[in-house]
């Protein structure tokens, strides 16, 4: 059943309002962060399984879904991963979670990394799904990456990408019936509302515009200062996606960013791991959480 046992609410924060679901009980809490162009609904097959042992929180990131869309600026700072991460610290504090696991997929992985680097005392464990740091992807950018990930550079352009997407959202994002089968009816309907909202489309693009500028600067500053992830990391990637082709063994990139243990898991599926392999992903996160031991609480 769709998010069985979960409630849905909105949290008013200092710079944004976030829609979120929460359910379950038990420490450490698990914060689940979606990617583009999804909403929190992408986790509907995973979250209830985690909620059997943990408190689980699934927000729409700032700018996505039904969360608010603050005005941007010339540097796209309101859509930096630092700004998004600050929202989530406020949210988890409001909900009474002192330390927690954060798991992020796709764009949500960049927010999860930034949250962990900026607020290391709050994050007990980090789960990264199908992503490497933005600065690492850009540093390795060659013809193959540019051809496969051209949307990063198109989305950074002014005005044109939103005009193209808003003209025909389903034409842009792909066969809606195929996505319905993958996502399930209710998650698909939530996704449809998001991609057909022009203000959401613009905000999602601001996320990418921040990525090529201010987010990259923040990551490069971390590397220059020697800041690394101080908690254990679970890195999961999909064999049917392109991380292996682009980076060989992408877990080695994450080991360079971490001072603690890095565990790797490869999922036999495409990019949307939470939708294609929800049970396997839930088991992986539960095992990771259990391995954190008593310090997790």
Contact 123, 116 (CB under 8 A): yes
β-pair partners for 101: 30, 125
Options 118, 197, 242, 271, the catalytic residue: 271
In what helix (H) or strand (E) does residue 270 lie, and over which residues does it extend? none
Contact 13, 59 (CB under 8 A): no
| DSSP class per residue in 36-84 | TT--GGGGTTTHHHHTTTS-EEEEPPTTSTTS------TT-GGGSHHHH
- By DSSP bridging, strand 17-23 and strand 7-12 are antiparallel
Is 106 among the residues known to form the active site?
yes
CA atoms within 13 A on the CB side of 273: 31
CA 163, chain centre distance (Å): 25
Measured distance CA(235)–CA(242) in Å, rounded: 15
Residue with tokens 């689980």: 56
Contact 123, 100 (CB under 8 A): yes
Measured distance CA(88)–CA(82) in Å, rounded: 10
Contact 253, 132 (CB under 8 A): yes
Contact 22, 55 (CB under 8 A): yes
Burial class (CB in 10 A: 0-12, 13-18, 19+), 183: buried
Options 60, 106, 207, 222, the catalytic residue: 106
Is 271 among the residues known to form the active site?
yes
- Catalytically active residues are 106, 271
């Amino acid at each position: 059943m769709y998010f069985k046992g979960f409630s849905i609410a909105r949290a008013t924060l200092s710079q944004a309002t976030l829609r979120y679901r929460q359910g379950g009980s038990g420490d450490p809490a698990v914060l689940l962060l979606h990617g583009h162009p999804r909403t929190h609904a992408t986790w509907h097959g995973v979250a209830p399984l985690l909620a059997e042992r943990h408190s689980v929180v699934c927000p729409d990131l700032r700018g996505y879904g039904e969360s608010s869309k603050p005005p941007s600026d010339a540097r796209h700072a309101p859509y930096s991963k630092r700004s998004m991460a600050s929202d989530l610290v406020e949210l988890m504090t409001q909900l009474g979670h002192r330390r927690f696991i954060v798991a992020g997929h796709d764009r949500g992985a960049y927010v999860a990394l930034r949250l962990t680097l900026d607020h290391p005392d709050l994050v007990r464990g980090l789960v990264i799904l199908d992503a490497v740091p933005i600065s690492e992807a850009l540093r390795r950018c060659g013809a193959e990456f540019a051809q496969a990930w051209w949307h990063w550079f198109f989305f950074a352009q002014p005005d044109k990408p939103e005009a193209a997407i808003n003209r025909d959202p389903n034409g842009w994002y792909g066969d809606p019936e195929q996505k319905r089968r993958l996502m399930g009816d209710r998650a698909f309907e939530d996704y449809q509302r998001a991609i057909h909202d022009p203000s959401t489309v613009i905000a999602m693009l601001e996320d990418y515009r921040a990525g090529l500028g201010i987010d990259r600067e923040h990551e490069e500053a971390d590397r220059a200062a020697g800041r690394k992830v101080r908690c254990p990391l679970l890195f999961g990637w999909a064999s049917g996606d392109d991380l292996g082709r682009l980076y060989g063994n992408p877990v080695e990139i994450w080991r360079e960013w971490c001072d603690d243990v890095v565990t790797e898991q490869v999922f036999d599926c495409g990019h949307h791991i939470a939708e294609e392999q929800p049970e396997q992903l839930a088991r992986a996160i539960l095992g990771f959480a259990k391995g954190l031991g008593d310090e997790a609480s």
